[in-house]
Amino acid sequence: MNRIVPILVGATAILAFATLMLVVVPGAQIRDQAPAPGLADYTPQQLAGRQQYINQGCVYCHSQQPRAAGQTLADLAKGWGRAPTAADFAFDRPHQLGTMRTGPDLLNVGARLPSRDWHLSHLYQPRAIFGWSIMPSYPYLFERKKAAAPGDVVVKLPPEFQPEGEVVVARQEALDLAAYLVGLNRTTTEVPADARIRDEGYALSKGEKR
Ligand code: HEC
């Protein structure tokens, strides 16, 4: 094999070029991205809930990136929100954009489902809300007790899911996660004027010109 040097140089050049175009350049473009106007940083509780979201692997079934009007199966009409811009993720480290959509996109779930109690019941047992749901239940984020103590948040359940003679109480992990979900709402943030990607359908619905 007398071509080892050109092959190595060629392979290294291709890898370096790919790294430059797919990692370095996009990184430089969004590194100093200011938060979207109206976007608030996460509270400490929401950050703890976000860590639960990561720990439990919610990202394996849920994306956090509604599709723009031009894309197939656009999400605005479904009520999942406009396409986000980089500024919408300024406080997200690491981001949870996701690639799978076994369940709905969650970037604006707090806008359409703003009830903490709903999320607690759903996390404890998704089938208590939708009999057809294939989402896993997370019973270990809750505690079963004979009686609720003062300050306990009791989960509301239909009778058939209520353990007999016991109450289901949310652990701190469940309360944090629900706080994070209720806070997921980019419908009140604005698209920065210099955004590189615009959701044309959203812009038109806002009365903006093309
Ligand atoms: C195996 C895939 C899967 C995993 C893992 C999963 N989900 Fe889901 N999720 C679904 C499906 C399917 C639905 C739609 C049915 C339903 O609401 O139960 C859903 C619905 C939801 C909804 C309601 C969204 C809406 O618009 O109605 C929320 C909130 C949610 N999931 C949060 C979570 C959280 C938080 C986690 C991690 C703790 C998680 N999911 C893990 C599949 C999954």
Best mutation site among 61, 106, 109, 130 for ligand 1 pocket (most ligand atoms within 8 Å of CB): 61
The number of C-alpha atoms within 13 Å of 5 and in the hemisphere containing its C-beta is 1
Tell how far the Cα of 135 is from the centroid of ligand 1, in angstroms: 5
Tell how far the Cα of 195 is from the centroid of ligand 1, in angstroms: 30
Tell how far the Cα of 190 is from the centroid of ligand 1, in angstroms: 26
Atom of ligand 1 nearest to the CA of 119: 29
- Could you read off the pLDDT of 161-183 as tens digits, one per residue? 999 999 999 999 999 999 999 99
pLDDT for position 1: 64
Distances (CA, A) of 108 to 27, 63, 146: 25, 11, 36
Q: Distance between CA atoms of 13 and 3, rounded to whole angstroms? A: 16
Best mutation site among 135, 138, 180, 187 for ligand 1 pocket (most ligand atoms within 8 Å of CB): 135
Q: How confident is the model at residue 23 (pLDDT cuts 50, 70, 90)?
A: very high
**Which of residues 208 and 28 earns the better pLDDT score?**
28
- Could you read off the pLDDT of 56-97 as tens digits, one per residue? 999 999 999 999 877 777 888 888 988 899 999 999 999 999
Q: Which of 178, 61, 50 is nearest to 118 (CA)?
A: 178
Q: Distance between CA atoms of 87 and 76, rounded to whole angstroms? A: 18
pLDDT for position 106: 97
Q: Is residue 103 within 6 Å of ligand 1 at its C-beta?
A: yes
Ligand 1: residue whose CA is nearest its atom 34 = 58
Atom of ligand 1 nearest to the CA of 100: 2
* Residue in this structure with the two tokens 């903490």, named with its chain if needed: 116
